[in-house]
């Protein structure tokens, strides 16, 4: 039992170390977004902030599609298929991002210009156009920083990603200070500062990543072709990414469609209230996203081995404990926190805080199930599972929002993510890994025994 116990200790230490840096990375990025939202909520009119939140949903669509077509396939293929050709692989991704950035800038900018020309110089049209022009600059830079941070996670150096996020936060705070000092507070100005901060941090991070990628590349044997054709890479990304993109669009419906329905039913100020209240769960949701980024490459490397189910079950129990504790904490401090953040402009009066606290539990269950499916290369299953969640949300929003307003959005989200997580769990339970039982759900004692049986090998250097 001594080797097994030593393997468990090594594995736990590695998980804590890499998890700490990954959560710090995501935490700094979250704080940056948090600062921008609080800054705008406190200083711009409520209608303008509502316009910002509406365009933010379009940004989230772009973010989800980018994650599906670029980042998620990168974390799978770079962790296994191209571990010996990382430099060429990352270079192809950068070239692809340049083309995507030009398309995004043209799209957001064109819609903003069309809004002004079509609607005239009205206040709502000008507010929407200002947000669109700002996101035309911010979106490409934010996606580049996101890809660079995840590339660090693939190479298993999350501390470098954390450094990039800290640098982004420092640049962002300096820019916000300049705006406050007299450059003028506006949605466009805040997004321009955010874009410049993200671009500067991305350049520094990419330059620092190169020597680490070279060392990782030299440590791997490569029996593929000397040249990695870009069309082949794009094809592999498309084969997985199109399914994931469809699934992520469904996830966007689950996340953000309720805010659009609420805005149409109760007006832009109500949408601003929803976004302001949702900030309460952003820290835990971004932390879950960080843990997801470290779990995916680990599970990819275990996908054909005997440790997949043990790691998966342990992660699921840990996420339930983490989100449950955060929910209890949220119930205790939500009201004072909202009052402090928004200086009385937004409150929790009439908001069902228990529903807000339950959202991370449902989202974490769904998210980890999706990680398991992606690691097992079941991209089509991710789409069908997400589709089930979106189909659940649409009628739920239609029934609940007219009568419950913001609380109806929260209940519909819990119902949709819970339904999708259940479908994903059923799908995963039908998959088998050599040396593992068919079902992932097992009693705690079986979990412990199966985990210890493979702990010595999992605690080795195969991170």
Q: Which long-range contacts (C-beta less than 8 Å, at least 24 apart) are formed by 235-238?
A: 236/73, 236/77, 236/81, 237/69, 237/70, 237/73, 237/74, 237/77, 238/69
Q: Are 334 and 353 in contact (CB under 8 A)?
A: yes
Token digits of residue 420: 């999708």
Q: Which two tokens stand for residue 102?
A: 């030009």
Distant-in-sequence, close-in-space partners of 84: CB < 8 Å, separation ≥ 6? 217, 220, 221, 222, 224
* Crossing angle (nearest 10°) for helices 187-218 and 86-119: 170
Please, what sign has the CA dihedral across residues 371, 285, 366, 429? Answer: positive
What pTM, to 2 d.p., does this model score?
A: 0.70
Q: Tens digit of pLDDT per residue, the chain (463 long)? A: 333 445 445 655 666 677 778 778 877 887 888 788 888 887 888 777 888 888 887 888 888 788 888 888 888 777 776 776 788 888 888 888 888 888 888 988 888 888 877 866 677 777 888 888 989 999 999 999 999 998 888 777 888 888 999 999 999 999 988 888 877 778 888 899 999 999 999 999 999 888 877 776 665 655 555 566 777 778 888 888 888 888 888 888 888 888 888 887 777 777 777 777 887 887 788 777 777 777 777 777 665 555 677 777 778 888 888 888 988 988 888 888 887 777 777 777 778 888 888 898 999 899 889 888 888 878 888 899 999 999 998 888 888 888 888 888 889 989 999 999 999 988 888 765 444 443 443 333 333 443 344 333 333 333 3
Rg (CA), the chain: 22
Q: How long, in residues, is the chain? A: 463
CB 310 within 8 A of CB 15: no
């Amino acid at each position: 039992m001594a080797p097994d116990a030593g393997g468990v200790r090594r594995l736990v230490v590695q998980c804590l170390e890499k998890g700490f840096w990954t959560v710090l990375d995501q935490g700094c990025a979250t704080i940056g977004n948090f600062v921008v939202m609080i800054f705008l909520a406190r200083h711009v009119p409520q209608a303008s902030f509502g316009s910002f939140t509406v365009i933010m949903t379009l940004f989230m669509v772009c973010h989800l599609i980018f994650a599906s077509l670029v980042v998620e396939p990168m974390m799978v293929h770079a962790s296994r298929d191209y571990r010996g050709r990382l430099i060429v692989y990352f270079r192809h991704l950068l070239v692809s991002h340049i083309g995507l950035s030009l398309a995004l800038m043209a799209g957001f900018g064109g819609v903003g210009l069309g809004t002004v020309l079509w609607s005239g110089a009205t206040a709502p049209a000008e507010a929407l156009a200002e947000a669109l022009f700002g996101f035309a600059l911010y979106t490409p830079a934010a996606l580049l920083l996101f890809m660079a941070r995840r590339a660090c996670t693939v190479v298993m150096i999350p501390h470098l990603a954390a450094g990039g996020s800290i640098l982004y936060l420092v640049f962002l705070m300096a820019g916000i200070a300049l705006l406050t000092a007299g450059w003028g507070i506006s949605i466009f100005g805040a997004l321009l500062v955010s874009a410049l901060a993200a671009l500067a941090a991305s350049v520094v991070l990419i330059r620092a990543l190169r020597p680490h990628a070279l060392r990782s590349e030299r440590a791997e044997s490569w029996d593929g072709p000397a040249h990695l054709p870009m069309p082949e890479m794009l094809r592999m990304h498309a084969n997985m990414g199109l399914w994931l993109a469809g699934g992520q669009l469904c996830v966007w419906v689950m996340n953000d469609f309720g805010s659009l329905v609420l805005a149409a039913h109760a007006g832009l100020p109500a949408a601003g209230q929803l976004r302001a209240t949702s900030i309460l769960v952003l820290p835990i949701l971004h932390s879950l996203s960080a843990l997801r980024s470290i779990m995916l490459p680990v599970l990819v490397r275990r996908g054909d081995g005997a440790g997949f189910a043990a790691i998966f079950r342990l992660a699921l129990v840990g996420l339930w404990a983490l989100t449950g504790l955060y929910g209890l904490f949220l119930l205790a401090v939500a009201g004072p926190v909202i009052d402090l953040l928004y200086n009385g402009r937004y409150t929790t009066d009439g908001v069902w805080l228990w529903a807000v606290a339950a959202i991370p539990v449902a989202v974490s269950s769904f998210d980890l199930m999706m990680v398991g499916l992606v690691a097992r290369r079941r991209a089509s299953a991710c789409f069908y599972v997400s589709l089930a969640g979106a189909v659940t949300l649409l009628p739920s929003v239609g029934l609940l929002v007219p009568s419950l307003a913001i609380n109806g959005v929260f209940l519909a989200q819990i119902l949709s993510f819970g339904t999708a997580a259940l479908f994903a769990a059923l799908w995963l339970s039908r998959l088998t890994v050599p040396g593992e039982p068919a079902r992932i759900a097992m009693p705690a004692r079986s979990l412990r025994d199966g985990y210890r049986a493979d702990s010595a090998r999992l605690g080795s250097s195969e991170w």
